[in-house]
Amino acid sequence: MLAGLGSCTGATEPGPPVPRIDYVDGAIQPILNAGQTTVIEGFGFGRDTGTGRITFAAAGGGTVNAASDTAGWGDEAIRVVVPATATSGTLTVRTDAGHSLSTSVYVVPRVSFDTAGFTWQGRTGFPRSPVGVALAAAEYPSGSGIATTLYAAGGAEVIGGDSAIQPDSGVYVATVQSNASIGSWVRQRDTVFADSNHSLPVRLAFASAVAATPYNSRFPSTELIVIGGMDTAKNAQAAVYIAAVSQTRVTSRFFPVEPLPAPVAGAIAVFRRGRIYVFGGVDSAGQPQSGVYVGRVGLDGRIDGWFTAPSLSSPRAYGGGVVLDDRALAFGGIADVADPGGGLDATPSRLVTSDTATLSLVSGFFLGSAWTGGPGVLPQGRSQFAVLPVGTAVLLVGGLCDGGVACPNETVAATSAGDSLGPFHPAAGNTISGAGGGVLVDPTGVTWRAGDGSYHGLVLGGMDLTSRLRRAAVWGF
């Protein structure tokens, strides 16, 4: 045996890893906002800043140095603030050892969102009148701007009362026009032949969806990911499905990947820095849950396993949440058993409370062992609303307030910056209900950026609390 081993003359050990930049903000070619905090991942940056520095392309030409500090500089990751004057182009890390490492990034200006000055406008109507649609937006750099495509999956037609639902398997695609209007919603190929079917393989409602691209994840292509949800028998699902998509259509069948550790519907889902965060939701008995799961989109588009994070401080479903720089928050929703989607009845009571937990912007994982009850950021208990992050603010639209009544303010807004989310307050301007859109409960919402850094968004579907009828309308700004 020893002689055999000794015969391997000429064998060499693998060399050390080559210094490199792998990802920025968890993505291959990220779209960044000027002024945001982000992380550069790779190898060989050096354990100390020393003479190292980071530069971005500067608006007007040349380069601009980025602010970093010794505490945020490591050999495999650097925490940095994108300069206010940065623009799209080359990001370069110059290490203390003399390495010059570069990659390309897209940078859009940081624009404050005016929560008192935006206007709701009717957009292209949806072909159905659903609640609980899984909605996602994908941003694609296009020349000096950003092209956006919207993907809508599943949703339910409520029949025979609030507790009876008829989920759908349909998937629709619409493109955002240059003036922020929406093109036609096109239903994707729906056939009994599995290999050529581009709808969901099962009927689902109250699922979540994200679109993974090279610009927001480690995946070099583009795919739609549908997470959890409720089937026709009102059973919560743990399944996660993915399908390849383009800017105009779904291009492959949906197939299952790593499922959630537990079945949930009506969960709070946030996609940030290439990771999917899932908070709460209900089980098959309609009982709200407190589980929290984190999964990263991998190089092959699948989920690199679901990490079971510390649980919420209390059960929560049909609420909202955000992931900030080093903090996650969940707010509103319900904590008691309710009809699918949360129902329209006076009970259960709606939550005014929030939960908060610290996480690492560098690793994406939670720190510490528990969530804590945060302040009551909502003006009153509220559930079944759409959450629209718009850079410097977060909007909550529609929903049901405590006692099963319409909320005093259709849209409320909170200021968002770094790790801070302020209390929600009434957002001025016109209203969807005032324009004939009804008092919406269980609408779905999504936002995206334009090339000038401004945010646009929309809400889709929902039940009208007044008429108890489903809505096919789409409203945007």
pLDDT digits (tens, 9 = 90+) for 461-471: 999 999 998 99
- Give the pLDDT score at 249: 98
Q: Does 348 score more than 90 pLDDT?
A: yes
Q: How many residues does the chain have?
A: 477
The whole-number average pLDDT for the span 271-285 is 97
Cβ contacts of residue 317 below 8 Å, gap of 6+? 266, 267, 280, 281, 282, 288, 289, 333, 334, 335, 338, 342
The whole-number average pLDDT for the span 91-107 is 97
Lowest-pLDDT choice from 24-28, 42-46, 234-238, 429-433:
429-433
The whole-number average pLDDT for the span 290-295 is 98
Residue 378, phi-psi category: left (phi > 0), alpha (psi -120 to 50), beta (remainder): beta
Give me the residue spans of the domains in the chain. Answer: 20-108, 121-476
Whether domain 121-476 has CATH 3.30.465.10: the reply is no
Q: Does 153 score more than 60 pLDDT?
A: yes
The whole-number average pLDDT for the span 296-301 is 97
Q: Residue 158 — pLDDT band, cuts 50, 70, 90?
A: low
The pTM (predicted TM-score) of the whole model is 0.94
Q: Does 3 score more than 70 pLDDT?
A: no
Q: Does 383 score more than 70 pLDDT?
A: yes
CATH class of 20-108: mainly beta
What ranges make up the beta strands (E) of 25-127? 31-33, 37-43, 53-57, 63-65, 77-81, 89-94, 100-108, 121-123
Give the helix ranges, DSSP H, for 334-404.
none
The whole-number average pLDDT for the span 299-320 is 96
Following CA atoms 35, 150, 154, 283 in sequence, which dihedral angle do they give, to the nearest 10 degrees? 0
| pLDDT digit string, tens, across residues 244-270 | 999 999 999 999 999 999 999 999 999
Q: Does 17 score more than 90 pLDDT?
A: no
Q: Does 117 score more than 50 pLDDT?
A: yes
| pLDDT digit string, tens, across residues 37-57 | 999 999 999 998 999 999 999
pLDDT > 90 in the chain, percent: 86
- Give the pLDDT score at 6: 40
Q: Residue 374 — pLDDT band, cuts 50, 70, 90?
A: confident
Lowest-pLDDT choice from 4-18, 51-65, 71-85, 193-207:
4-18
- Tracing tokens 């608006």 back to the chain, one arrives at 59
Find, among 432, 386, 455, the residue nearest to 176 by Cα.
Answer: 455
Mean pLDDT for the chain overall: 93
What is the residue type of 274? G
Q: Does 160 score more than 70 pLDDT?
A: no
- Tracing tokens 């000096």 back to the chain, one arrives at 144
